[in-house]
Amino acid sequence: MTTVAQAEATTSAAGPKWPADWDRVLDTAIRTWGGEWTTVRVQLLFKARYGHSLYRDEARAFLGRRAQQGLLIRINRPDGRYYTLARPARKDHP
């Protein structure tokens, strides 16, 4: 998982500084609330938690990174895309 420190290291000097707890806040929200995660939903979470806005492309990057890490599954549909929590494979006991 990319940490906030790694994200800050790759951000330009003029770019945003991510709150130290953002990765944990986002991951906890996704696991707790489940459902469909869109860029708008991530932006609303960020605004509610920190009181200021998050750009759509930044929200998209966070969701895309979580999908690459296997936490989320990306669902494409004609009118947009959303992400859902990836469920671990069920192990049947003999």
30-76 pLDDT tens trace: 999 999 999 999 999 999 999 988 999 999 999 999 999 998 999 99
pTM of the model: 0.73
pLDDT of 17 over the 80 cut: no
* Residue found by looking up tokens 């906890």 in the block: 28
Whole-angstrom Cα distance, residue 63 to residue 82?
Answer: 9
Give the CATH fold of the 20-85 domain.
Arc Repressor Mutant, subunit A (1.10.10)
Whole-angstrom Cα distance, residue 1 to residue 65?
Answer: 8
Q: Are 53 and 45 in contact (CB under 8 A)?
A: no
Cβ–Cβ contacts within 10 Å for residue 73, how many?
Answer: 13
- Dihedral (CA of 7, 76, 78, 32) sign: negative
